[in-house]
Amino acid sequence: MGFKKVLASLGAGGASVETVLFEENVVPGGLVQGEVRIQGGSVPQAIQGLSVGLAARVEDEPGGGGVPRDVAFGGRRLGGAFEVQPGAVHTVPFGLEVPWEAPLTDLLGQALSGAGTGVTTQLAIARAVDSHDLDPVRVHPVPAQQAVLEALRRLGFHFSGAAVVAGQIHGTRQQLPFHQEFTFAAPPQHRGLGEVALAFVADGREMDVVWEMDKGSRPFHSEADSHRSRTVGMDAVEGTDWAGCLTHWLAEVGGRRNWL
């Protein structure tokens, strides 16, 4: 897969660039591998620098408020300056580590509507920067995340949406300037509860699993009685009784609010 364009900085006769991903399916903590192919045009062209990175489509607030924007993360420079001669081909391989906080694009066997995560390519050309459009990647849950999601499904919760939102979840190990929120509609037996919001914040060693009931449009609020956060080792998540944890939490909060 790839996207080819003519470098606009030179106009007619300029080189073209194409980014090719060897495998578009990845997981947090994994690796995106590919190569950037630069095809010389009809005139020499000085490339001052080449870099690749990841970017995610981010909302300023939950619920789609405002215009989503692409926020870059996890970038790296590929070599130094070089010159592309007419008709010559330069192929530059790369590998990008996928951060553990990278937003998921596929969940419970389905592509998430509106999710946009991909590889960006930038070339510094004669005092200008020529930016490449996103080459999409599909980010799937790691087993630890899948275990939590499956527990929710077993309890009758139905996935209703996801958003990548700017801002921090207080009290977590979050490093990126955005986080991903998943919402699940409650089953009928929880008569007063509309939704449960869920977020994962991992670093490869441990993962913070954050839940909040009927979160609405406000940020995850760590002082609310409907908020819960649990930190577990990545190698212990699958062995945790997540269905039991969630059931206990629902009984504790729901009993006080007549949700059960």
Check whether residue 166 and residue 185 sit in a common domain: yes
Neighbour tally for 240: CB within 10 Å: 17
Q: Which of 119, 139, 159 is the last residue of a domain?
A: 139
pLDDT in the model for residue 10: 45
Distance CA 152, CA 140 (A): 17
pLDDT in the model for residue 193: 80
Q: pTM here?
A: 0.85
Q: Give the pLDDT band of residue 56 (cuts 50, 70, 90).
A: very high
β-strands 25-26, 138-139 pairing: parallel
221: exposed, middle or buried (Cβ count in 10 Å: 0-12, 13-18, 19+): middle
On average, the pLDDT of the chain sits at 83
Query: Per residue in 83-134, pLDDT tens?
Result: 889 989 989 999 999 999 999 999 877 888 777 899 998 888 765 556 666 7
What is the phi-psi region of residue 64: left when phi exceeds 0, alpha when psi lies from -120 to 50, beta otherwise? Answer: left
**158 vs 28, 131, 152, 186, CA distance in Å?**
23, 39, 8, 7
Check whether residue 157 and residue 250 sit in a common domain: yes
Q: Give the pLDDT band of residue 68 (cuts 50, 70, 90).
A: confident
Q: Which of 139, 160, 176 is the last residue of a domain?
A: 139
Distance CA 149, CA 26 (A): 18
Check whether residue 8 and residue 128 sit in a common domain: yes
Check whether residue 41 and residue 104 sit in a common domain: yes
Check whether residue 124 and residue 16 sit in a common domain: yes
Rounded to an integer, the average pLDDT of 126-155 is 83
Q: Which of 139, 166, 201 is the last residue of a domain?
A: 139
- Asked whether residue 140 carries a pLDDT value surpassing 70, the answer given is yes
Q: Give the pLDDT band of residue 253 (cuts 50, 70, 90).
A: confident
Out of 42-46, 221-225, 245-249, least confident range:
221-225
pLDDT in the model for residue 28: 95
Check whether residue 221 and residue 105 sit in a common domain: no
Distance CA 137, CA 23 (A): 8
β-strands 31-39, 89-97 pairing: antiparallel
Number of folded domains that form the chain: 2
Query: Per residue in 177-196, pLDDT tens?
Result: 999 999 999 888 777 788 88
Check whether residue 123 and residue 203 sit in a common domain: no
Token pair, residue 90, equals: 């330069």
> CATH no. for residue 69?
2.60.40.640
pLDDT in the model for residue 190: 75
pLDDT in the model for residue 133: 67
Check whether residue 230 and residue 130 sit in a common domain: no
Query: Per residue in 26-50, pLDDT tens?
Result: 999 999 999 999 888 888 888 888 8
Q: What is the extent of the structural domain holding 176? A: 143-257
**5 vs 8, 29, 70, 96, 122, CA distance in Å?**
8, 30, 19, 22, 12
Check whether residue 150 and residue 135 sit in a common domain: no
pLDDT greater at residue 246 or residue 174: 174
Check whether residue 89 and residue 189 sit in a common domain: no
Out of 47-51, 109-113, 140-144, 168-172, least confident range:
109-113
pLDDT in the model for residue 113: 78
pLDDT in the model for residue 49: 86
- Asked whether residue 218 carries a pLDDT value surpassing 70, the answer given is no
pLDDT in the model for residue 257: 63
Check whether residue 27 and residue 14 sit in a common domain: yes
pLDDT in the model for residue 9: 44
Check whether residue 27 and residue 103 sit in a common domain: yes
- Asked whether residue 70 carries a pLDDT value surpassing 60, the answer given is yes
Distance CA 140, CA 185 (A): 21
